[in-house]
Amino acid sequence: MPIIEMRNVNKWFGALHVLKDINLDVQKGEVVVVIGPSGSGKSTLIRTINALEPIQKGKILVDGIDISKPKNIDEVRKEVGMVFQSFNLFPHMTVLENVSLAPRIVRKWPREKAEQIAMELLERVDIADQAEKYPAQLSGGQQQRVAIARALAMQPKIMLFDEPTSALDPEMVGEVLDAMKELARSGMTMLVVTHEMGFAREVADRVIFMDMGEIIEEGEPDQVFSNPQHERTKSFLARIIH
């Protein structure tokens, strides 16, 4: 059974039809990269999976749980971690507090356990030495690695990444991608919206190309990048690969 099932998902922003009959299955442990021009609906797509964006038609099952029912939303959000383009760390908390807060108050872990696991995760994204600092004291790349650790602290089954490197200075992109690659290798189910084609080639099991709210084409990275079938995919790739 797929861990994410999207069936005929439709979403409108007012009159704008932003997701058109999306059908998508993601298997456990799969790494799916979503590419496409801006405004194609790719961010909206992954934001529907943890109900940050409500859908108007269709059905989404996450780990078998139907998220269209409001009472299920909190349950699903505990299982789905999310990393944002603009990090969205909590600026009034230290790095350690950022990572340990949700496990403490949502999972109801005692502080020691939450902080111990938070430290292990900070170790894992190679930023444990900054645990007592505030987000504003860190570089963008460091902040995004903290954001990854924060999402992982809830021990999610799925991780969503919404353009995680787009707001970073070029020299910091690598460190964030490295953390994501390590996560992919550990067997995490990941949905990643990104323009990093190198990352997609290296770790993605599948690449999805979206345009105008539709899934135009999908397949293994080599196939999509080297031998795109669809005209719109070709022209998009021609524009981003120099």
Identified binder of other proteins from the candidate list 6, 35, 82, 184, rule CB under 8 A: 82
Contacts of residue 175, Cβ cutoff 8 Å, sequence gap at least 6: 126, 141, 142, 145
By the rule CB under 8 A, 52 interacts with other proteins: yes
Say whether residue 88 binds other proteins (CB under 8 A).
yes
Decide if residue 154 touches other proteins (CB under 8 A).
yes
Residue from the set 36, 135, 221, 228 that interacts with other proteins by CB under 8 A: 135
**By the rule CB under 8 A, 146 interacts with other proteins:** no
135: its two tokens: 């987000």
d(CA 84, CA 201): 22
Tokens of 94: 């230290």
Three-state secondary structure readout of 39-92 = CCCHHHHHHHHCCCCCCCEEEEEECCEECCCHHHHHHHHHHEEEECCCCCCCCC
**Minimum distance between the CB of residue 90 and other proteins, rounded to whole angstroms?**
6
Based on the shown chain and the rule CB under 8 A, indicate whether residue 78 belongs to the binding site for other proteins. yes
Interface with other proteins, residue 86, by CB under 8 A: yes
Q: How far is the CB of 143 from other proteins (least distance, A)?
A: 11
Residue 42 binds other proteins (CB under 8 A)? no
Both structure tokens of 164: 């995680």
Q: By CB under 8 A, is residue 89 in contact with other proteins?
A: yes
114-122, 148-156, 168-176, 194-202 -> range binding other proteins (CB under 8 A): 148-156
Q: Which is nearer to other proteins, 108 or 242 (CB)?
A: 108
Sequence-ordered strand ranges (E) for the chain: 4-13, 16-26, 31-35, 57-62, 65-66, 80-83, 158-162, 189-193, 206-211, 214-219
Q: Which of residues 177-206 bind other proteins (CB under 8 A)?
A: none
Q: Which amino acid is at 70?
A: P
Tell me if 193 sits within 8 A of 161, measured CB to CB: yes
Contacts to other proteins by CB under 8 A:
50, 52, 74, 77-78, 80-82, 84, 86, 88-94, 101-102, 105-106, 134-137, 147, 150-151, 154
